[in-house]
Amino acid sequence: MPDFTTLWAEALPIPYHAVMALAALALGVVQLIAVKGTRAHRFMGYIWAVLMLGTSLTAVFIHEIRLWGLYSPIHLLIPVTLASLYLGIRAARQGDMRRHRSIMRSLFLLALVVTGGFTLLPGRAMHAVLFGG
């Protein structure tokens, strides 16, 4: 059973970052499975984009792994995520659903699944939440 008290004991903004990322992961799975092109898909898509925006912006202030001053290679994903969100939404608004789908799926896999996997390494907050100290 996950121990979320461990997460809330982390320094800010880590708990907010993690909650938004987990919510984006769950909603992203729903979006990938659900029928596309509906009002519900669009509405949930905007919520997902806001969650990804919040996750990206809070990541700027997380400095646990310091390889380049305050930052690490994972911080390179912040501008990639922000640009991808913009380009994915723009593609949908322009009616280019193939490009929209490609960008959003790639963003989901890279920013949530792959990057999220790294948070499960020993010594990281989510490892402690899911597997104990």
Q: What is the pLDDT, as a whole number, of residue 93? A: 96
Distance CA 32, CA 91 (A): 17
pLDDT tens, residue by residue, 15-45: 999 999 999 999 999 999 999 999 999 999 9
Give the whole-number percent of the chain exceeding pLDDT 90. Answer: 71
Q: Where are the domains of the chain?
A: 4-131
Distance CA 115, CA 24 (A): 13
Q: What is the pLDDT, as a whole number, of residue 62? A: 87
Q: Are 60 and 78 in contact (CB under 8 A)?
A: yes
In the numeric block, which tokens belong to residue 105? Answer: 């799926």
In the numeric block, which tokens belong to residue 114? Answer: 């792959």
Considering only residues 43 and 1, tell me which one the structure prediction assigns the higher pLDDT: 43
Q: Residue 65: is its pLDDT beyond 70?
A: no
Q: What is the pLDDT, as a whole number, of residue 66? A: 60
Q: Residue 72: is its pLDDT beyond 90?
A: no
**Closest by CA position to 98, among listed 107, 88, 108:** 88
